[in-house]
Amino acid sequence: MHDQQKTRTLPNPGEPAIPLVNWGGLRTLYIKEVRRFFKVQLQTIWAPALTTLLFLVIFTVALGRGDRTILGVPFEAFLAPGLIVMGMIQNAFANSSFALLVGKIQGTIVDYLMPPLSTLELLTGLVAGAVTRAICVGLTVWVAMWLWGIDVSPAHLWAIAYFGLTGSAMLAFFGVLTSMWAEKFDHAAAVTNFVVQPLALLSGTFYTIERLDPVFQSVSQLNPFFYVISGFRYGFIDASDSNILAGVLVLAGVNIALCLLCYGLLSRGWRIKS
């Protein structure tokens, strides 16, 4: 009789035992993703920060002599914000593009698929972990540049937060797509080398698009990375070579589209379920 009463308290087959959001599972997945890159922080945080600083030193020495100014500020002050956010978005992509891929290669993909997490919770955990790594890299580079003597004083905190977070989320979503599509590390490396890095380097990090031919200006405006770089820079130097409102809308639209695409493919188990 007692066993029958206990059985009646269980949900019917097919009914979720955890209502709405599995906060415990989501928190666990997020902590797992953060711990994964913190265990090798020398490679995932400090090395990217050092690489970004080397970019700053090299381009400042090569192009910043003679009190050169761009958009009304010294060249190093123009260059610094773009390098910070470029390091952020590249590392957001690196983190999320590794998550599911390594699970498929090592045969541990069930660790993501078997827990009682919905598709949205799984996607949120992966993206949140990638964005956290981006923030860690961005803060590390910002502090290093400030100690180096570069003027990186915020002018518009809302722009720094919005373009930094949406840019990192955009690359995190793209990394999830890459992680689902790739079957080996070479595939993910190919996307990094032939898609992410070219788009990042040709986004106006080291120049303003006003210096380009009108045709190439139009091409640059089709690159969502351009709006990330330009908007984030606006948050520091109060000047931009793009329409800030257009950047806000473009990044919101791109992130919504990528989120829906990731959600649809994850819910179908595209290339991650046999």
Please, what is the Cα angle at 170 between 206 and 82, to 5 degrees? 20
Please, what is the Cα angle at 169 between 224 and 153, to 5 degrees? 80
* Of residues 108, 269, 261, the one with CA closest to residue 175: 261
- Distances 162 to 16, 49, 155, 156 between C-alpha atoms, Å: 35, 21, 13, 10
What are the residues whose beta carbons fall under 8 Å from the beta carbon of 49, sequence distance 6 or more? 87, 137, 140, 141, 144
User: Which residue's entry shows tokens 């990394």?
Assistant: 175
Local confidence pLDDT in tens for the 274 residues of the chain:
445 545 556 667 656 667 788 899 999 999 999 999 999 999 889 998 888 888 888 877 766 555 778 888 888 889 899 999 999 999 999 999 998 999 898 888 888 888 889 999 999 999 999 999 999 999 999 998 998 888 889 999 999 999 999 999 999 999 999 999 999 999 999 999 999 999 988 888 888 888 788 888 888 889 999 999 999 999 999 998 888 999 999 999 999 999 999 999 999 989 887 5
Neighbouring CB atoms inside 10 A of 242's CB total 20
Helices (H), 64-182: 75-106, 110-113, 119-148, 157-181
pTM here is 0.89
For the chain, what is the total number of helices (H) and then of strands (E)?
Answer: 13, 2
CA distance 191 to 48: 18
CA distance 20 to 184: 35
Exposed/middle/buried for 36, CB within 10 Å: 0-12, 13-18, 19+?
Answer: middle
What are the residues whose beta carbons fall under 8 Å from the beta carbon of 55, sequence distance 6 or more? 83
Q: What is the DSSP secondary-structure string of 45-76?
A: IIHHHHHHHHHHHHHHHHH-TTT-EETTEEHH
User: Which residue's entry shows tokens 């997020």?
Assistant: 30
Report the amino acid identity of residue 111.
Answer: D
Q: Is 240 within 8 Å of 226 (Cβ atoms)?
A: no
